[in-house]
Amino acid sequence: MLGYTITQWLFGILSFLAIMFALMVVFTRNPVNSVLYLVLTFFCIAGHYLLLNAQFLAIVHIVVYAGAIMVLFLFIIMLMNLDADTEPQKHIGTRFIAGIVGGVLLFVMVGALRGAEQIQLVQTGSSQIGLVKNLGKVLFSEFLFPFEIASILLLAALVGAIMIGKRDTNINSKETTNS
Amino acid sequence: MKGLFIISGLGILAMLAEIFKFKKLLYPLVLMGILAAYAMNFMEWNNNYDIPMFGNMIRFDNVALAFSGVILVTAFFWFILANDYFEHDHITDHFALVLFALVGALMLTSFSNMTTLFLGIEILSIPMYVLAASRKRDLASNEAGFKYLIMGSFASGFLLFGIALIYGATGSFDLMAIRAFISHANGDLPAFFYAGVLMVLVAMLFKVSAAPFHFWAPDVYEGSPTVITALMSTIVKTAAFAAFMHLFLVVFGGVSETWSMVLAVVIALSLVISNFTAAAQQSVKRMLAYSSISHAAFMLMAILANNRGWASINAILYYSLAYSIGSIAAFTVLYNVSKARNSSNIEAFNGLGKRHPFMAACMVIAMLSLAGIPVTAGFFAKYFVFSVLIGTSFKWLIILAISTSAVGVYYYFKVIIAMYFKSEESPEEVTMETSHVLLLALTALFTIALGLVPNYVIEIFN
Amino acid sequence: MLNGIPINFYIMLSAVIFIIGVIGVMARRNAIIIFMCIELMLNAVNLLLVAFSTLHNDPSGQVFVFFIMAVAAAEVAVGLAILSMVYRNFKSIDIDLLSRLKN
Amino acid sequence: MLVGLLIIIPLIAGLLVFFTKGNTSRTLALSLSVIEFILSLVVLFQFKHNPESQNLILNCSWIESLGIHFAVSIDALSMLMVLLTTFLVPLIILSSFNTTYEKPNSFYGLILLMQMALIGVFTANDGFLFYVFWELALIPIYFICLIWGGENRARITFKFFVYTLLGSLFMLVGFIYLYNHTGFDTGIKSWAITDLYQAGKSLNLSQQSFVFWCIFLAFGIKMPVFPLHTWQPDTYVTSPTQGTMLLSGIMLKMGTFGLIKWLMPMTPLALEKWGGVAIGLAVFGIVYASCIAIVQKDYKRLIAYSSIAHVGLIAAGILSANQQGIQGAVMQMLAHGVNVVGLFLIADILMRHTGTREMDKLGGIRNMNGNFAVLFLIVMLGSVALPLTNGFVGEFLLINGIYQYGAWIAAFAGLTVILGAVYMLRSYQAIMLGEKRDSAIAFGSLQSSDKWVLYIICITIIAFGVYPKPLNELAEEGTKLIMMNLK
Amino acid sequence: MIKLVALIPLFPLLGFIINGFFGKKISKNVSGWIASLAVLASFIVSLLIFIDLEEHKEMTSHIVPLFSWINSDTLKIPFEFLVDPLSSWFLLIITGIGFLIHIYSIGYMHDDEGFSRFFTYLNLFVFFMLLLVLGNNYLIMFVGWEGVGLCSYLLIGFWFKNTAYNNAAKKAFIMNRVGDLGFLLGIILIFVTFGSISFDKVFTIASSGSEATVTAIALLLFIGAMGKSAQLPLYTWLPDAMAGPTPVSALIHAATMVTAGIYMIVRSNVFYSMSEDASHIVAVVGVATALFAATIGLFQNDIKKVLAYSTVSQLGLMFLGLGVGAYSSSVFHVTTHAFFKALLFLGAGSVIHAMGGEQDMRKMGGLKKALPITFVTMLIGTIAISGIPPFSGFFSKDEILAHTYEHSPTLWFFGQLASMLTAFYMFRLLYLTFYRKFRGTHEQEHHLHESPKTMTIPLIVLAILSVVGGVLGLPEFWGATNWMHHHLDSIIVQKNPSILNHTKEWTLMAIAVLSAGATIFFAYMVYMKNQILPEANDAKLTGIKKLIYNKYYVDELYDFIIRKPLDGISVVFYKFMDLQVVDGIVNGVGSAVTGISFVVRKAQTGHIGLYIFGMVVGIITILFFTFIK
């Protein structure tokens, strides 16, 4: 088909969609819609993972992001009762400048991210690395330490979230830091 | 290595303390634990040099041990400072969070893989976000935590993008591998590798709060509870510098021409902005925040002199020790003064010289040290930085640093002048716990001792 | 070429998504959206890492993505907790209102 | 070992005095400083008889890895400076006996600590140690001026502090630069003065120029040389009298001493190239400060400006880099130290007895106290360098030295001979002569401590004017050593 | 004997110390006599040494080392004395006249409260003056030179309650210092050129110096002499110096100190002999001063001012003599001038004493009867200074003028003119003071009395000396021996024998005597015959009279070209340069810091959006400059 393989077609479509949805996340006024667009973006990215033979990662991605994180976001948004009407908007000029700066950043990035042509290709196509078995092996041997230490991270997040979320019984303010 | 585990264990223990009802025991336990970790640290000195741990994820060589030592010493001091901070009901949560942050800090001294770097930064940062916001009813604290979180995560994005690019170019997260790759490539590296290095640089500059990535620091420092600010400006900073140094002196030293000019400009900008803004502050807390930016710039100067090898590392080590101890002393005084006078403004210090001579004297020593006057530790800190930088082509930075540190003297001395030469308006008695008196005496002693015999720190790697 | 697609394309794609995230952070006032945009940036990085992982045929890239996900989850948990606390106190999550600390 | 004692005694004395109260502190401080003076005479004796004696050298390692040593020693130049310090400090302490200061223990303690630092500066043989003492000297004087100073003291002393600190940081940079160039042959870096000399000489012109200006800035500010002087008059006026005496009598000499011993032998090429510029500044400063002194109304401020003029001549003499110039500078440093202490004491006496230093409001004091008039006259004559006063020997040698550098510069510098007479005589006339003025009516007689200080100073002025040989010999010897190093 | 030379300055020094420390405790008479005897002792020693020296002609100069004073490498300055014909002669003048004036002062100052102080200063002065002439090197000379300046300052301002006197004292000191700077630079140039400043060494190798250098040395030394000896343009202090007590004017400002310049140039005659230009300048300055001061003297009404201008004028003549190479003649004139000018001043002092402090001649007159001794002695002095033979002034002045004629008739003409004017104003003084009728108040008239013996005896002694002083230097063409010439022979390197023929010499002498006589007659006509009195009101003077009466407005001119600009510059330096520019820059840096702080601080707005924005711009900049540029 026009000299492109299916993968290439898929890549094109997924990329286009991912970028489109990403833009929608930024430019939709209603936060709820933003979340939904973000979920869609995640799905596109998961698609890319599949294209790249990272099947397990694709699944985890869907489960963690779309399933857990995004639900959390939605939940908070619902809780705060945010919608298009209450959504505060930046001044149009600010947004315009943000866009310009983003464009310039893109331009600079394009300049900066040259040089990938030189990379030696190791192998193509049917990679096995994305399989659970391979990943698990690496994770529990080479990456054992980070894996273990990540638990500290999660514990810290857990404690932190609980501490912040818990209602105070007394005001623990002996000092004021207002000024 | 073992110290890291001890601290992790302590953190988990702190979590459990609430459940198993040994809250009262926790404080001494933590102090003892830190001492134990320090002892372990000490015993590992020279023992397992160059033995990679866990698939080369983490490596406690002497440099790492030295920086861990600085962090542990500071942490010990900090826990003394913060003893009454833990008296309220969330005691265990706070303990756990601080200890987890400590784990992150120790990882940052010893990482040898991008994964551990990233995890270390996050383990350090996430508890800090929470701790900054820990004063839940206080709007300033809320705002501080929130700002820190947003900007911290944003910076993490850049860090990760940089790591990804470096991974793409080199095919590994292992720092030794990356270093070997750089030296083998002989300058024949893809452009996006350099982009990756620069993005990591930006993220690290954010962590050490160098201009123009410093904006978060003054606001967060000011909004956070004073003890947490003390934590941020000492342990977090030391850890960030250990990481920075490891990355840019050891790993990316081979491509220094990419980043050294950038770093030089950043240092210049930091020196000017921090000192000049600090001079205009009314709040001592905020002034210390800006001054910490200026100190960061000084430490960065040592990194800039990357061709000086061990001398640079020595300089950073010494600087972070001197700065941490000086800061702890300054924050101890600030904490007590603002508690009594209900303000952290400079006026709160008026007449302290009469009211509490000991406290004032220790504050003078701290200020002199931070200003870099001999024979305090701060002087040698600056001296070592100058002496490594003077052999490079960045002599102009020294001139700039000297000029701006004159401004620095201005704001540090403002405190001294307030303490001794302004009559006090508020009659509140300033009192201090015995532990704090001890702490101040200890830090003052350390500051002077380090200034008199800097050998013991400076010759540590020889 | 990975599956017939040049690596450059992936780099560009993730750069674009990353920058869209950056623009979002800059352009929006709603803290939650900003948070989401940061997630977008992280995902761009994830995509890049996976692409490089495949390129180098090295699983560590993908493992790294796991860690990023874990961190992202932790960050989101803490972040949303702080956000809800801020909302409780300020009755808003407009970042422009959070500017008491300045100068 | 003796030299170590010289440094340690004031330190211990200072600490001891901190723990005393009221009048005990000043008595203790005085007696301890007299002991220190006696010790310095012992050192002088030792030096005269056996200059190579181990007693005069102390060298122990301080920071081994950086080649920093706690190395102090006595040579002819430092002997003179130490004598000046130990001689003046008891006088300065004695001169304070008629003023009650709050917290006298801190006041005298700080003076003694200052003495320690000053002796350290003058005896240091290690660049780093020199720098450390240099900075250490700044802190006590800063607090003396700040705590016991007059109007606007916070702003003025701060300006002084920042000014001098800035200068000394540049000096540190210069020294570090030299330090980095030491040990090319041995590979061992060192801060020893001889190694720094060697390192300095191994540099090319542009490197030497960098070092020269970095270090000159510090010394120039300390002295101070035009146009780095604006901290000085305000600080002198605001400081308590004893602070001013320390500043002008001894501390100022740190700059000139440093110039002689530390800067010139290190950068001979730069001296050749830039010496002229520096001399130009110094000489212009002479005329400039003299002129300004002429129109001063406050006597203390007048002395402050006259001090700039004097030190300008000293600096020009030093920078002319010949035997007469440097030797004259050394002699003049000693003389100026004594004279200026006398002058500031007189200003203090005026202030205490009449409540003002404004010359317009004074006059005719000679009618009330002829003794004081004579003492004042002698000190003044010493200051205008009349022959047979101590000021003359130095001034003659200085103009001689400058003349050898350039005849016209010497003629211009020599204007100090005329202008000095103008402002000194004018002020003397305004204060002492003429009919009695209201402010002077209650002048009364001098307190005995003031009298004794003035007697001692006047005796010194005349004794070393008539027979300068003992000091002059040392100055000659020290200068010869420097000249040898200059080659 | 020679070794005892150290005693000469020691006696006055002892007198100074005794009077200085115990003056208030001992009685007036005692302190006065202690001081006088100290000088007398010095005089006796000087006389002995002088005789000793005369007797042993084979060795004319003796160096007496005392101690080493200043050493600096090659610069070695010992404290040592030189005794030779020149210095021994000056010792006699100083101690001799000094002693007489001390005696005189006992009477003159008797009622003054600062009696012992006066003698303290006077003894100190003698001490320094002796140092000046005794020193064997220029620096010791300089010590004495400055020392006498100090004493002059102290004595002019002796009555320190009077502001005008204090100003006069200050003026004298400062103006002298201008000259001293020249002298000092001259000394240094001598050292730089010859490697020594000792007379014995320098003069033996003086010929090795280039002419330009020697000229420079000579001129620098001459600047010093100008200041001390009140030559144009540094003369204005001397008339003002009359503010001091009259004995001071006699001793310091007539007989001794002001002649120090002549001593110095005679001492350095080697240099002047080598440099034609320098000598010429000395001569021209000398004659100009002589004439200039003489004209001013014509219209002065203050008795001491007339004498002061006369002194300036006579000093000018002496420099004229030096300039034309007649060194011994100048020393001769110094000597005779010391006699008669001291006499005149002391006489004037006697008059003032009698008049109760009045110095204005317009209010005197007819004092002949009341003060007979004073009148006679003053008459002798006046005749002597006017150059009437055989009084001493005639011989010395004539010798100088004869040598001048030899050198340049033009200079001679002006010198002769000045000499004529001298005769005029001196007789004017005499007529106005002693003749005609008394013009003062009744009270003063009642009070008139002759002075006590302590004052009249010195007058008489000096009068005798003024009469016979001429024998020291009788003209050689008379067939007599010029003792002074021979005495100084060994000091002067370039001999200056007269080459004029006898006719010419006789002619010159006749012109001098006749012109003096004519002038005296003219003065007689004006003041005695026509009874003309000086205008009582200064303001009514017009034209050239006004100009001269106001001393050509030189003081005002100096005020205008030196003092005012100096004050102006000082104010500009202080108010503008120091406070505005230099300190302004320093403070400007301070305010700039504050200003920048304020601006930079504003960037910290507290808005996260802006912070992020800042970061992104930072990143863009970094990437841009690294990759795109």
Q: Tell me if residue E137 falls in helix, strand or coil.
A: strand
Q: Are A152 and B100 in contact (CB under 8 A)?
A: yes
Option in B373, B406, B459 nearest D65 (CB):
B459
Inform me whether the pLDDT recorded for A123 exceeds 60.
Answer: no
- Name the residue of chain E whose CA is nearest to C95's CA: E608
Residue showing tokens 């210092």: E177
Cβ of residue B350 closer than 8 Å to a chain A Cβ: no
Q: Where are the domains of chain B?
A: 2-458
Q: What is the pLDDT along chain B (462 residues), one digit of tens a residue?
A: 788 889 999 998 888 887 777 777 888 888 999 999 999 888 888 776 555 667 788 888 888 889 999 999 999 999 999 887 777 666 788 889 999 999 999 999 999 899 999 999 999 999 999 999 988 888 889 889 999 999 999 999 999 999 999 998 888 899 989 999 888 887 778 888 888 999 999 999 999 999 889 889 999 999 999 999 999 999 999 999 999 999 998 888 888 888 888 999 999 999 988 988 888 888 899 999 999 999 999 999 998 887 777 888 888 999 999 999 999 999 999 999 888 888 888 888 888 888 888 898 899 999 999 998 887 899 889 888 888 888 788 888 888 888 888 888 888 988 888 887 777 766 667 778 888 999 999 999 999 998 888 877 777 776
Q: What are the angstrom distances between the C-alpha of E411 and each of E26, E226, E313, E317, E401?
A: 54, 19, 14, 10, 9
One domain for residues D408 and D486: yes
Q: How distant is the Cα of A1 from the closest Cα of chain B, in angstroms? A: 31
Q: What pLDDT does residue A127 have?
A: 64
One domain for residues D202 and D240: yes
Q: Are E100 and E342 in contact (CB under 8 A)?
A: yes
One domain for residues D216 and D321: no
Q: Determine, for residues B198 and E615 on separate chains, whether the beta-carbon distance falls below 8 Å.
A: no
Residue showing tokens 């350039």: D406
Tokens of E64: 């007496």
Last residue within a domain, chosen from D215, D238, D266: D266
Give the relative orientation of helices D448-466 and D76-95 as an angle to the nearest 10 degrees. 150
In this complex, does chain C touch chain E, defined as having at least 3 beta-carbon pairs under 8 Å apart?
Answer: yes
One domain for residues D223 and D290: no
- What pLDDT digit, counting tens, does each position of A1-38 carry? 566 777 788 888 999 999 999 999 888 888 888 888 99
Inform me whether the pLDDT recorded for A81 exceeds 80.
Answer: no
| Partners of residue B462 in chain D, C-beta under 8 Å | 65
C-alpha to C-alpha distance for D148 and D166, rounded to whole angstroms:
24
Q: Determine, for residues A116 and B53 on separate chains, whether the beta-carbon distance falls below 8 Å.
A: no
Low-confidence ranges of chain E (pLDDT < 50): none
Domain with D444, as residue range(s), is 267-487
| Partners of residue C101 in chain E, C-beta under 8 Å | 606
Considering the entire predicted model, what is its pTM? 0.85
| Partners of residue B368 in chain D, C-beta under 8 Å | 139
Tokens of E579: 């406070």
Residue showing tokens 């006032």: C29
C-alpha to C-alpha distance for E229 and E321, rounded to whole angstroms:
14
Q: Are D357 and D423 in contact (CB under 8 A)?
A: no
- CA trace torsion B354, B356, B362, B363 (10° rounding): -70
One domain for residues D246 and D285: no
One domain for residues D144 and D181: yes
Q: What pLDDT does residue D440 have?
A: 53
Interface of B with A in 88-127 (CB under 8 A): 88-90, 93-94, 96-97, 100-101, 103, 107, 113, 115-116, 119, 122-123, 126-127
One domain for residues D413 and D444: yes
One domain for residues D27 and D121: yes
Q: Determine, for residues C95 and E602 on separate chains, whether the beta-carbon distance falls below 8 Å.
A: no
Q: Which of D229 and A114 is assigned the larger pLDDT?
A: D229
Neighbours of E404 (CB within 10 A): 29
Residue range A29-57: average pLDDT?
Answer: 89
Residue ranges in D362-389 assigned as alpha helix (H): 365-368, 370-383
Which candidate in E597, E601, E607 is best for mutational testing of the C interface (most C CBs within 10 A)?
E607
C16 pLDDT band, cuts 50/70/90, is very high
Identify the burial level of E111 via C-beta atoms within 10 angstroms of its C-beta, where 0-12 means exposed, 13-18 middle and 19 or more buried: exposed
Which three-class secondary structure string do you get for E542-569? CHHHHHHHCHHHHHHHHHHHHHHHHHHH
Radius of gyration of chain B (CA): 21
Q: Determine, for residues D400 and E191 on separate chains, whether the beta-carbon distance falls below 8 Å.
A: yes
Give the relative orientation of helices D323-354 and D76-95 as an angle to the nearest 10 degrees. 0
Option in B375, B402, B421 nearest D146 (CB):
B421
Q: How distant is the Cα of B406 from the closest Cα of chain D, in angstroms? A: 6
Q: Which of E543 and C87 is assigned the larger pLDDT?
A: C87
Number of domains chain D contains: 2
One domain for residues D306 and D165: no
Give partners of C (≥3 CB pairs < 8 A): A, B, E
- Name the residue of chain B whose CA is nearest to C38's CA: B154
A174 pLDDT band, cuts 50/70/90, is very low
| Partners of residue C95 in chain E, C-beta under 8 Å | 607-609
Ordered by where they begin, the domains of chain C are 7-102 (1.10.287.3510)
One domain for residues D111 and D238: yes
Residue ranges in B171-255 assigned as alpha helix (H): 175-185, 191-207, 216-223, 226-231, 237-245
Is-cis flag, bond preceding A146, omega within 30?
no
Is-cis flag, bond preceding E390, omega within 30?
yes
Q: What are phi and psi for residue E67, nearest 5 degrees?
A: -155, 165
Option in A114, A143, A177 nearest B344 (CB):
A177
In this complex, does chain D touch chain A, defined as having at least 3 beta-carbon pairs under 8 Å apart?
Answer: no
Q: Tell me if residue B54 falls in helix, strand or coil.
A: coil
Beta bridge partners of D358: D298
Q: Determine, for residues A177 and B223 on separate chains, whether the beta-carbon distance falls below 8 Å.
A: yes
- What pLDDT digit, counting tens, does each position of D359-396 carry? 888 888 888 888 888 899 999 999 988 888 988 989 99
Q: How distant is the Cα of A172 from the closest Cα of chain C, in angstroms? A: 16
Option in B119, B188, B345 nearest A150 (CB):
B119
D441 pLDDT band, cuts 50/70/90, is low
Q: What pLDDT does residue A168 have?
A: 61
Last residue within a domain, chosen from D234, D266, D298: D266
A126 pLDDT band, cuts 50/70/90, is low
Q: Determine, for residues C52 and B167 on separate chains, whether the beta-carbon distance falls below 8 Å.
A: yes
Which three-class secondary structure string do you get for D82-125? HHHHHHHHHHHHHHHHHCCCCCHHHHHHHHHHHHHHHHHHHHEC
C-alpha to C-alpha distance for B108 and D77, rounded to whole angstroms:
54
Tokens of A105: 């950043």
Q: What pLDDT does residue A179 have?
A: 34
One domain for residues D299 and D237: no
One domain for residues D149 and D45: yes
Last residue within a domain, chosen from D249, D266, D283: D266
Q: What pLDDT does residue A87 have?
A: 67
Q: What pLDDT does residue A84 have?
A: 64
Q: What pLDDT does residue D169 have?
A: 86
Option in B374, B420, B458 nearest D136 (CB):
B374
Exposure letters E139-170 (e unless 16+ CB within 10 A, then b): bbbbbbbbbbbbbbbbbbbbbbebeebbbbbb
Q: Are D372 and D450 in contact (CB under 8 A)?
A: no
Q: Which is it for strands D57-63 and D68-73: parallel, antiparallel or unpaired?
A: antiparallel
Q: What pLDDT does residue B89 have?
A: 62
